Amino acid sequence: MDLKFARTDITAKPKKVELEKIEAAVEKEDSVIFYFDRENSHKDLLELQDHFEAKGKSFYMSEVKYGLSDSEYMYQVHIIR
């Protein structure tokens, strides 16, 4: 699974993240919100959802628009222990 965090600058490339780092953050906190880039496939995000739900976590995902263009969005993922 190849996941990328949301860009912090329009011209920057998104940073890749490993599943282990996401898991570590979820174990550390009771509730974690991540923002993933639009370059992530919806299929990969659904696999991430299945992964955490199999571990008994609650997983909420939505698209967040930050501009008027159809390509100006990111995914917001909220994982609760």
Name the H helices within 1-81.
19-28, 42-54
Band the pLDDT of 71: cuts 50, 70, 90: confident
The tokens for 42 are 């919806």
Q: What is the pLDDT of residues 42-51, one digit of tens each?
A: 999 999 999 9
Stated pTM of the model: 0.90
The tokens for 9 are 């600058």
Compute the distance between CA of residue 26 and CA of residue 33 in angstroms, rounded to an integer. 9
| Domain range list for the chain | 3-80
